[in-house]
């Protein structure tokens, strides 16, 4: 599809907003269990930690689905792939609403997550293909905005439905949203041809990114940051009611405040991450560590629990653009798998965090223990980022010495993201002295 004319660059295609609407449905499904955990556990006669594993089930599906479906659909028509994945996702929500047992609901979550992961990977590629290079970050911001709005509106709405109409009503509502998104994709997302020739995606070439230790450090930092947040977020509802003493009617409000914080954090991170990538990572993850530790100490105070839930949304999502940008910087040779790897890393954290939080609760340490668990995980993310920064400085210093008269390539990511998001990378090549200048400027703006 031809790039938009210069006069059109101020506007994004309607199809991008349709993809954002679909992401709103996906994000609501992924996160809404935090608000309906208690009624769901009572109805299915399982413990709170067992119900919390449903969050991990979705995350596991995302971890497996993102890279596998990204690779499997690499050469398939993207619009057709989006339609098929969104249909499967919607049917998964229907299966969840009708689930007669915990096991069936668990299976429906995994299937829905597989479809969700594939939609993210392909949808991001479609969104950036519909706009010029200079608007790619804006297009991704619309998709990420769908996720943030899901936290602000979708998750609290699901909690309200769960409290007043039963937890199954929340699944039916998401199925309806998926149907609307599906109709929008069918009607408004244009057909795009599969790249051919030199532009044809090659899985073998993209897989080479996993030989780079910086890719693994970026993956670990992303996973640990997500695990820190979701160790707490998955059990936020019982912490608010059983520990802080709030009524269940307060849960949707606090979840909405967390979403507002996430939106504020995404905006802040998007504004500063390009100029201060590692500074944003250190600042945001360190702040999350402090917020989680303070929450663990003050969890019995309703005011503190509410205020710190808002602050955690801000600190956790401030790092998201930097985490996405870092992955695309170190994996710019493989834009398809870079996005899938970021999604997988985020959801590895979504799996590990609730699991460890459940272990802490099961050990009898109480709900404040999930905040301590999150604080430890966030501290690991800070340490991993420090190792990556040290390696980054060492590598760039070596490139400065060795690059006289040789060709240099640098990747600059244009992306804004949250938990589970992707972006795109633009790569430019220069030679000799220009390579030295580019490398030096890249090093200078990391902090």
What average pLDDT does the segment 152-163 reach?
A: 76
**Lowest-confidence segment of 77-91, 92-106, 198-212 by average pLDDT:** 198-212
Q: What pLDDT is stored for residue 195 in this prediction?
A: 59
Q: How far apart are CA 402 and CA 410, in angstroms?
A: 15
What average pLDDT does the segment 312-338 reach?
A: 75
**Lowest-confidence segment of 51-55, 352-356, 375-379 by average pLDDT:** 51-55
Q: What pLDDT is stored for residue 214 in this prediction?
A: 84
More confident position, 276 or 292: 292
How is residue 83 written in tokens? 């339609």
- Minimal CA–CA distance to 383: which of 294, 276, 286, 296? 286
Q: What pLDDT is stored for residue 396 in this prediction?
A: 60
Q: CB neighbours (10 Å) of residue 381?
A: 27
Q: What pLDDT is stored for residue 236 in this prediction?
A: 87
Q: What pLDDT is stored for residue 287 in this prediction?
A: 93
In a domain, 2, yes or no: no
**Lowest-confidence segment of 26-30, 56-60, 303-307, 420-424 by average pLDDT:** 420-424
Helices 251-272, 136-149: crossing angle, 10 deg rounding: 170
Biggest distance spanned by C-alpha atoms of the chain? 69
β-pair partners for 414: 424
Band of residue 437 on the pLDDT scale cut at 50, 70, 90: very low
Cα atoms in the Cβ-side hemisphere of radius 13 Å centred on 85: 31
Which residue's structure tokens are 């430890």? Answer: 376
Q: What pLDDT is stored for residue 330 in this prediction?
A: 74
Highest mean pLDDT among 8-12, 15-19, 422-426: 15-19
DSSP characters over 71-117: HHTTTS-HHHHHHHHHHHHHHHHHHHHH-SSHHHHHHHHHHHHHHHH
The answer, yes or no, to whether residue 239 has pLDDT greater than 70, is: yes
Q: What pLDDT is stored for residue 69 in this prediction?
A: 78
Q: What pLDDT is stored for residue 194 in this prediction?
A: 61
More confident position, 402 or 232: 232
Highest mean pLDDT among 122-131, 227-236, 345-354: 227-236
Instruction: Read off the pLDDT of residues 105-154 as tens digits, 9 standing for 90 and up.
Output: 888 888 888 888 888 777 777 777 777 766 655 666 677 667 767 767 77
How is residue 73 written in tokens? 């659909």
How is residue 235 written in tokens? 């059990």
In a domain, 6, yes or no: no
Domain count, the chain: 1
Segment holding 384, helix H or strand E: helix 368-402
Q: How far apart are CA 67 and CA 45, in angstroms?
A: 35
Q: Please give the model's pTM, rounded to 2 decimal places.
A: 0.67
Segment holding 62, helix H or strand E: helix 48-72
**Lowest-confidence segment of 55-64, 174-183, 258-267, 378-387 by average pLDDT:** 55-64
Are the beta carbons of 404 and 436 closer than 8 angstroms? yes
Q: What pLDDT is stored for residue 2 in this prediction?
A: 45
Q: Give the dihedral sign, CA 105/107/111/113.
A: positive
- Minimal CA–CA distance to 334: which of 67, 134, 133? 67
In a domain, 388, yes or no: yes
Band of residue 90 on the pLDDT scale cut at 50, 70, 90: very high
What is the rounded average pLDDT for all residues in the chain? 77
Q: What pLDDT is stored for residue 166 in this prediction?
A: 83
Q: How far apart are CA 369 and CA 334, in angstroms?
A: 39
In a domain, 264, yes or no: yes
Instruction: Read off the pLDDT of residues 339-348 as tens digits, 9 standing for 90 and up.
Output: 677 777 887 8
Residue 279: partners with Cβ closer than 8 Å, 6 or more residues away: 272, 446, 447
The answer, yes or no, to whether residue 202 has pLDDT greater than 60, is: yes
CA dihedral 92, 96, 97, 103 (to 10 degrees): 150
The answer, yes or no, to whether residue 176 has pLDDT greater than 70, is: yes
Domain span at 99? 11-193+203-444
Q: What pLDDT is stored for residue 311 in this prediction?
A: 92
Phi, psi (degrees; rounded to nearest 5) at 132: -70, 165
Q: How far apart are CA 97 and CA 126, in angstroms?
A: 30
Give the single-character DSSP code of 2.
P
Q: What percent of the chain has pLDDT over 90?
A: 17
In a domain, 4, yes or no: no
CATH number at residue 120: 1.20.1250.20
CA dihedral 71, 28, 178, 37 (to 10 degrees): 100
Give the single-character DSSP code of 154.
I
CA dihedral 260, 265, 270, 272 (to 10 degrees): 150
What average pLDDT does the segment 399-423 reach?
A: 41
- Minimal CA–CA distance to 246: which of 301, 166, 187? 301
Q: How far apart are CA 351 and CA 359, in angstroms?
A: 13
More confident position, 424 or 278: 278
Q: What pLDDT is stored for residue 228 in this prediction?
A: 93
- Minimal CA–CA distance to 159: which of 262, 63, 233, 227? 233
More confident position, 172 or 327: 172
Q: What pLDDT is stored for residue 373 in this prediction?
A: 94
Band of residue 304 on the pLDDT scale cut at 50, 70, 90: very high
In a domain, 1, yes or no: no
Burial tier of 210 (Cβ tally within 10 Å: 0-12, 13-18, 19+): middle
Q: What pLDDT is stored for residue 162 in this prediction?
A: 77
Instruction: Read off the pLDDT of residues 240-281 as tens digits, 9 standing for 90 and up.
Output: 998 988 887 788 788 878 878 888 887 787 777 767 888 889
Cα atoms in the Cβ-side hemisphere of radius 13 Å centred on 37: 30
Residue 37: partners with Cβ closer than 8 Å, 6 or more residues away: 48, 51, 52, 234, 235, 237, 238
DSSP characters over 156-192: HHHHHHHHHT-HHHHHHHHHHHHHHHHHHHHHHSPP-
């Amino acid at each position: 599809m031809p790039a938009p004319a210069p006069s059109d660059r101020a506007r994004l295609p309607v199809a991008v907003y349709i993809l954002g609407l679909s992401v709103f449905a996906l994000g609501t499904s992924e996160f809404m269990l935090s608000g309906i955990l208690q009624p769901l556990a009572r109805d299915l006669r399982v413990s709170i930690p067992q119900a919390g594993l449903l969050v991990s089930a979705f995350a596991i599906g995302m971890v497996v689905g993102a890279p596998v479906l990204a690779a499997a659909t690499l050469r398939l028509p993207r619009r057709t792939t989006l339609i098929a994945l969104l249909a499967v996702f919607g049917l998964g929500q229907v299966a969840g609403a009708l689930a007669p047992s915990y096991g069936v609901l668990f299976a429906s979550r995994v299937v829905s997550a597989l479809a969700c992961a594939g939609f993210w990977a392909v949808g991001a590629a479609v969104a950036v293909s519909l706009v010029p290079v200079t608007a790619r970050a804006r297009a991704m911001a619309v998709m990420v905005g769908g996720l943030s709005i899901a936290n602000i509106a979708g998750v609290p709405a699901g909690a309200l439905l769960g409290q007043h109409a039963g937890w199954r009503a929340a699944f039916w509502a998401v199925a309806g949203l998926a149907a609307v998104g599906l109709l929008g994709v069918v009607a408004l997302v244009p057909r795009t041809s599969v790249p051919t020739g030199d532009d044809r995606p090659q899985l073998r070439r993209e897989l080479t990114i996993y030989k780079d230790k910086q890719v693994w450090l970026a993956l670990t930092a992303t996973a640990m940051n997500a695990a820190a947040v979701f160790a707490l977020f998955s059990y936020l509802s019982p912490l608010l009611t059983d520990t802080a003493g709030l009524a269940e009617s307060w849960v949707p409000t606090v979840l909405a405040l967390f979403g507002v914080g996430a939106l504020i954090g995404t905006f802040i991170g998007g504004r500063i991450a390009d100029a201060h990538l590692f500074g944003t990572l250190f600042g945001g993850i360190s702040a999350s560590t402090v917020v989680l530790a303070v929450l663990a100490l003050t969890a019995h105070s309703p005011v503190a629990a509410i205020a710190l839930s808002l602050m955690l949304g801000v600190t956790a999502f401030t790092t998201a653009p930097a985490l996405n940008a870092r992955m695309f910087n170190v994996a710019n040779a493989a834009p398809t798998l870079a996005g899938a790897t970021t999604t997988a890393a985020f959801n590895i954290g979504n799996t590990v965090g609730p699991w460890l939080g459940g272990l802490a609760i099961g050990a009898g340490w109480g709900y404040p223990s999930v905040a301590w668990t999150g604080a430890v995980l966030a501290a690991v993310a800070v340490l991993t980022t420090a190792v990556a920064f040290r390696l980054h400085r060492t590598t760039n210093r070596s490139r400065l010495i060795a690059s006289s008269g040789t060709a240099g390539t640098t990747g600059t990511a244009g992306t804004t993201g949250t938990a589970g998001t992707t972006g795109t990378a633009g790569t430019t090549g220069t030679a000799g002295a220009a390579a030295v200048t580019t490398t030096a400027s890249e090093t200078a703006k990391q902090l």
